[in-house]
Amino acid sequence: MKKTISVLILTFCLLLALTACGGDTKPSGDPAQPGGSVSSDEPGTDTPSEKVDPNAPITEKLLRSHAAAPAEDFTYDVEENGIKIKSYAGSDTVVVIPAEIEGKPVTALYNYVFANDSPVRAVLIPESVKEIEEVFTNNETVELVICEGVTRTLGLTFGNCSNLQQVIFGKDLQELGGIGTFGNCTKLKELHFTQTLTNIDDELVFEGCDNLTIYAPAGSYAESFANENNIPFQAE
């Protein structure tokens, strides 16, 4: 009887020792094991970027650092040379158009994508888009547009955008074409051009832009245009 009790006590002690030493050796964090956790850097587990507060100040830094909008926020045509955006159906007021959709570059935007009552406040157009025409016409909420790949604008691209404060072009802009590109952009304060700008089609392109100053290299076409049309100019 004493022998049986001793065996039971010894067995119980062995069980306690195994438990204390972590007898279960299955890796608890291995994704390959059932129930194992998956690290946050696995594809498809990124947290979606938060929408910008409608009352937050719009800045260049905010727009450049914002995540690209998902493809489902747009309607578009798939063309031989790339994607042409037809409309924006998302709810974010800060929009970074993706450089690619379905593995093809975004190369063009139809007229009026962000025009009229579109609620956007800031838009970044990818550098693969070289020409825009009447994309923002009559939009009263847009404040900032970055379009550094654009070489040519046509028509009322920004016409009657009464809240527009800044448009950032790149070094390759060559022409502001058509009538009233920036007509009645009453809050527009500055535009920066380089030597590559060699044509502004219409003298009324900045009609109603009473707070505008043009910045460009001394001796440039932009300086000549500004002086001829009594627009404040600063060399840079």
For 129-188, write each residue's pLDDT tens digit. Answer: 999 999 999 999 999 999 999 999 999 999 999 999 999 999 999 999 988 999 999 999
**Residue 159 is which amino acid?**
G
pTM greater than the 0.85 cutoff: no
Asked if residue 225 has pLDDT above 60, the reply is yes
Kindly state the average pLDDT of the residues 40-47: 33
66 or 31, greater pLDDT: 66
Spelled out in words, what is the top-level CATH class assigned to the domain 111-235?
A: alpha beta
What does the alpha-carbon distance between residue 116 and residue 138 come to, in Å, rounded to a whole number?
Answer: 5
CB contact set of 172 (below 8 Å; sequence gap of 6+): 149, 150, 151, 196
Structure tokens at 15: 């069980």
Extents of the domains making up the chain: 111-235
